[in-house]
């Protein structure tokens, strides 16, 4: 700590002595005091002034300190310390932050706050109880979210509610939640009613190499549901393989979110997608999606397809069929590379009333999509929220300006 200052002007000291034999019978230290410090040197805190306003109460058997600790950024924490001289010291800390100002105060105080995380509304409260027995520290705490909204990078999230429990001792860290709920998570395609329940445990000296246990991780997506099969993963054993399941996805809603006019469809999709998560990113190998019987329809705009059919009679037939295709079978493999490239291997079986009098048709089609570019397009369209749209526009402006600057520099050379 730098420049520690303590003002004890309001504190009184009272003692009572026994003369025969000489002994101190009673000692009382009490009164308001304040302490200030220019900087607290701690890896978890950003450098800034701190202030503590509290009440001191001490006797021959214990010392109690109650008060409020405030950072210059605006974080306030109520503290209650009880130090029995022949017992176990206990420290109780509680704090809460509300709205955008509360989020900024946390971001400007704690080094662990992610730079991409912004809070716009709602409240978060924390309560910690720390005990200091001779064998080491023990901490129990709760983090409570109340209708919290905000952004993470270019993803909007709203309505975060629930509680996270923390337990820490000399050897282990345990974090658990049973009721974490998010109204919506929207990177461009909205996930709704996101629910998470599970725990994370690790050695205290290897927090990043713990065990993740998911009892539930699910959400609504495009009229259906997507969820992670409950399981247990060792974070030290990268890459993680996470089985993702989906059911009841409405093809009509999927077509509606795609940023192209004239797409339409009907039917329900289900499938299994093995997601691989590692230090290099996220990938999918040989995922499988299929339509639920009896199938449905696919309608792709002719003007977007006719360019593919020029001079090719077989492709012309495919283009004509896809303008109004009634499928009984829709199967697709899914592969996703770490660079964001999605490859779909579609197999369609069905017919088109306008082609060969409805004669059965089998189509095998490979489709490729740049998912980061697709999400950027959705974010620019305003389908997330205005804040995300503006953030993406600013990022594009900065990128274009940087390219122009680099190009100008190269030309001068």
Environment class of 220 (CB within 10 Å of its CB; exposed 0-12, middle 13-18, buried 19+) = middle
Environment class of 18 (CB within 10 Å of its CB; exposed 0-12, middle 13-18, buried 19+) = exposed
Residue 319 clears pLDDT 90, i.e. is over it: no
Per-residue pLDDT of 41-99, as tens digits, reads 888 889 999 999 999 998 888 999 999 999 999 999 999 999 998 889 999 999 999 99
CA distance 264 to 234: 42
CA distance 324 to 164: 50
With cut-offs at 50, 70 and 90, classify the pLDDT of residue 399.
Answer: confident
Residue 411 clears pLDDT 60, i.e. is over it: no
Residues 6+ apart with CB under 8 A from 78: 67, 68, 93, 94, 95
- What's the confidence (pLDDT) of residue 55? 94
Count Cβ atoms below 10 Å from residue 196 Cβ, excluding itself.
19
Span of 116-125, 242-251, 298-307 with lowest mean pLDDT: 298-307
Look at phi and psi of residue 234 and say left if phi exceeds 0, alpha if psi is from -120 to 50, else beta: beta
With contact defined as beta carbons under 8 Å apart, do 40 and 22 qualify?
no
3-class DSSP state for residue 411? helix
With cut-offs at 50, 70 and 90, classify the pLDDT of residue 287.
Answer: very high
With contact defined as beta carbons under 8 Å apart, do 23 and 17 qualify?
yes
Per-residue pLDDT of 322-381, as tens digits, reads 888 999 999 999 999 999 999 999 999 999 988 888 889 898 888 888 988 888 888 787
CA distance 391 to 151: 10
Label residues 246-281 b or e (16+ Cβ within 10 Å = b). Answer: beebbbbebbeeeeeeebebbbbbbbbbebbeeeee
CA distance 27 to 11: 13
CA distance 38 to 61: 32
With contact defined as beta carbons under 8 Å apart, do 291 and 329 qualify?
yes
With contact defined as beta carbons under 8 Å apart, do 244 and 227 qualify?
yes
Environment class of 22 (CB within 10 Å of its CB; exposed 0-12, middle 13-18, buried 19+) = exposed
3-class DSSP state for residue 393? helix
Long-range Cβ pairs for the range 221-224 (8 Å, 24+): 221/189, 221/190, 221/191, 221/192, 221/246, 221/249, 222/189, 222/249, 222/250, 222/253, 222/254, 222/257, 223/248, 223/249, 223/250, 223/252, 223/253, 224/248, 224/249, 224/250, 224/268, 224/269, 224/270
With contact defined as beta carbons under 8 Å apart, do 140 and 126 qualify?
no
- What's the confidence (pLDDT) of residue 303? 67
Residue 158 clears pLDDT 60, i.e. is over it: yes
Domain ranges of the chain: 1-71+78-86, 238-381, 386-413
């Amino acid at each position: 700590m730098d420049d520690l200052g303590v003002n004890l002007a309001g504190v009184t000291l009272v003692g009572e002595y026994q003369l025969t034999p000489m002994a101190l019978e009673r000692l009382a230290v009490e009164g308001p005091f304040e302490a200030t410090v220019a900087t607290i040197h701690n890896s978890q805190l950003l450098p800034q002034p701190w202030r503590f306003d509290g009440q001191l109460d001490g006797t021959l058997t214990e010392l109690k300190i109650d008060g409020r600790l405030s950072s210059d950024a605006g974080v306030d924490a109520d503290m209650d310390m009880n130090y029995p001289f022949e017992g176990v010291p206990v420290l109780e800390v509680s704090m809460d932050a509300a709205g955008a100002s509360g989020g900024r105060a946390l971001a400007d105080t704690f080094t662990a706050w992610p730079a991409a995380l912004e809070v716009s509304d709602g409240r978060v409260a924390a309560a910690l109880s720390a005990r200091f027995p001779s064998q080491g520290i023990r901490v129990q705490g709760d983090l409570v979210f109340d209708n919290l909204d905000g952004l993470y990078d270019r993803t909007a999230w709203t309505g975060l509610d629930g509680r996270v429990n923390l337990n820490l001792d000399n050897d282990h860290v345990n974090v658990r939640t049973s009721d974490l709920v998010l109204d919506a998570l929207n990177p461009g395609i909205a996930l709704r009613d996101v629910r998470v329940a599970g725990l994370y445990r690790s050695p205290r000296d290897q927090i990043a190499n713990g065990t993740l246990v998911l009892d539930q991780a699910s959400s609504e997506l495009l009229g259906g549901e997507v969820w992670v099969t409950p399981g247990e993963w060792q974070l030290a054993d990268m890459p993680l393989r996470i089985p993702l399941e989906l059911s009841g996805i409405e093809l009509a809603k999927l077509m509606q979110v795609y940023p192209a006019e004239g797409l339409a469809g009907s039917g329900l999709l289900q499938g299994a997608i093995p997601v691989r998560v590692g230090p290099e990113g996220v990938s999918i190998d040989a995922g499988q999606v299929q339509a639920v019987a009896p199938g449905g329809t696919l309608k792709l705009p002719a003007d977007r397809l006719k360019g593919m059919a020029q001079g090719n009679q077989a492709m012309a037939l495919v283009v004509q069929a896809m303008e109004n295709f009634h499928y009984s079978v829709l199967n697709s493999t899914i592969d996703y590379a770490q660079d964001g490239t999605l490859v779909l291997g579609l197999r369609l079986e069905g017919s088109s009333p306008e082609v060969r009098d409805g004669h059965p048709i089998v189509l095998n089609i490979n489709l490729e999509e740049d998912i980061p570019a697709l999400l950027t397009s959705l974010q620019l369209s305003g389908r997330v929220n205005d804040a995300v749209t503006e953030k993406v526009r600013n990022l594009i402006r900065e990128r274009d300006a940087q390219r122009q600057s680099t190009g100008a520099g190269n030309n001068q050379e």
